[in-house]
Amino acid sequence: MDPKVIGLLAAMLIPMLLPFFLRRYGIRVPARKWAVWYIFWAFLASMVIFQIYTIEHVLVVEPRSIEFGSGENTTEIFIANNGSGAIRWDIERNVSWLLFEPKSGRVGNNQERVEVSLNRSALPPGVTSTQFLVAGRQGERSLVEVRITP
């Protein structure tokens, strides 16, 4: 079952069940205290639901900086999700001389390896650095710096 649904059900059911348990053991609570209890629980439940819906995906790209040494044409990065659920991601690049395999994917609780290749024959003269972006489809973003030694 989806964790969002479980959190929502727990947040809504717990305050409704408490009066049944209290009556079973003969505990009486004045109506004014019940109102305070329900207001407190509604606030707490809204905080739990907010956490469930907003802190779901945490896109992590390691390393955040890569370097192609002299004669080096391939390296790798790792894309992971340190949150819950799964992240669909794409690599957005602004240069044609950097190649990625794969260019997009989906990562859950594991990490995915991406091979980054440098096409030195297409590299413009004098270029020694660039950057590319790993972007999740729900707004997650991670910038990776690239340095090139001729």
38-89 pLDDT per residue, tens: 788 778 777 777 776 666 678 889 999 999 998 899 999 999 988 777 889 9
**Whether the predicted pLDDT of 1 surpasses 70:** no
Question: Cα–Cα distances in Å, from 94 out to 41, 64, 127, 130?
Answer: 49, 17, 13, 9
Q: Please give the CATH number for the structural domain made up of 59-148.
A: 2.60.40.10
Under DSSP, the state recorded for 120 is G
Q: Are 59 and 87 spatial neighbours (Cβ–Cβ below 8 Å)?
A: yes
State the pTM of this model: 0.63
Query: How far apart, in whole angstroms, are the C-alpha atoms of residue 58 and residue 83?
Result: 5
Burial (CB < 10 A; 0-12, 13-18, 19+), residue 83, is middle
Domain boundaries, the chain: 3-54, 59-148
